[in-house]
Amino acid sequence: MEDYRTAPIEPEVKQLLSFAEQMARDASQVTHGDIETLRAAGFSDRAILDAAHVTGFFSYMNRVVQALGADGSSRSV
């Protein structure tokens, strides 16, 4: 998928992906309203928590990989 915003997927899934993007870019900008929007779209608190965990884990792993040069850069430990 090149861009979730224009992908042929359900609007609710786009909302969840937007939340994940916002969280990955600057989690401090996620508001109670953002969570309420996901709830209104039908996502349970558990599903929202799972999405937050997956997003956080991927953000963490990307930073580790980049820091150690495992992404193909010339750095090495």
- Taking the domains of the chain in order of start, what are their residue ranges? 11-68
Alpha-carbon gap, residue 67 to 77, rounded angstroms? 9
Give me the count of residues in the chain.
77
* High-pLDDT (> 90) share of the chain, %: 84
The one-digit pLDDT tens for each residue of the chain (77 residues) are: 789 999 999 999 999 999 999 999 999 999 999 999 999 999 999 999 999 999 999 999 999 999 998 877 655 55
Single pTM value for the model:
0.81
Please check whether residue 43 is in contact with residue 17, taking contact to mean a CB–CB distance below 8 angstroms: no
